[in-house]
């Protein structure tokens, strides 16, 4: 079995991509209230700051800043994913998932990247906010409701028309 090593940086800032097992699912936006409640509970129990976030139908991207004395983001994601899954119908027939008492809602792993500097942070914030346009859910960043973009606009950090108005996106984007 592979030994996955995660970055352990107390007080670190990290970019995450967390994905549903079924990439054609709309569960995250269909159950956005449940996801928000689970997220709030995890943040209350194990504090962290959400710098930026965007929830799409089948995955989410977030940037977190951890407290100075803490590096345990895996526990926080475990809390969010398990509490979100609790009470939902199982999505799998896999014996591997069943043996581990998993419902097959989330992919087991997730992507994390330690933010290195301000330029890296700015790049990842832009990536997060533009993601709904990239995936064709909306033609304007401002039209996607499940994004910290709106908070950035309220605080004057981004213009309401940031990202422009995209009529069509073509190409391969690697997700």
Domains of the chain, by residue range, sit at 13-154
10 Å CB burial of residue 60 (0-12, 13-18, 19+) is buried
Q: What is the pLDDT of residue 175?
A: 52
Range 13-154: architecture per CATH = 2-Layer Sandwich (3.30)
E strands along 2-145, which residues?
13-19, 49-55, 59-65, 111-114
Note down pLDDT in tens along the chain; length 175 residues: 455 677 888 899 999 999 999 999 999 999 999 999 999 999 999 999 999 999 999 999 999 999 999 999 999 999 999 999 997 765 544 454 444 445 578 998 899 999 999 999 999 999 999 999 999 999 999 999 999 999 999 999 999 999 887 765 554 444 5
Q: What is the pLDDT of residue 160?
A: 94
């Amino acid at each position: 079995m592979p030994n996955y090593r995660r970055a352990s940086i107390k007080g670190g800032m990290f970019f995450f991509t967390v994905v549903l097992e079924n990439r054609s699912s709309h569960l995250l936006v269909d159950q956005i209230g449940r996801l928000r409640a689970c997220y709030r509970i995890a943040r209350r129990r194990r504090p962290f700051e959400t710098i930026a976030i965007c929830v799409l139908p089948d995955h989410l991207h977030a940037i977190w800043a951890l407290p100075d004395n803490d590096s345990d983001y895996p526990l926080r994601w475990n809390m969010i994913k398990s509490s979100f899954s609790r009470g939902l119908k199982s999505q799998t027939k896999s014996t591997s998932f069943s043996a581990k008492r998993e419902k097959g809602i989330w992919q087991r792993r997730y992507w994390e990247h330690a933010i290195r500097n301000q330029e890296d942070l700015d790049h990842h914030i832009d990536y997060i906010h533009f993601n709904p346009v990239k995936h064709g859910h909306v033609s304007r960043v401002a039209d996607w409701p499940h994004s910290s973009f709106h908070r950035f606009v309220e605080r004057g950090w981004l213009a309401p028309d940031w990202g422009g108005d995209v009529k069509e996106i073509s190409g391969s984007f690697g997700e």
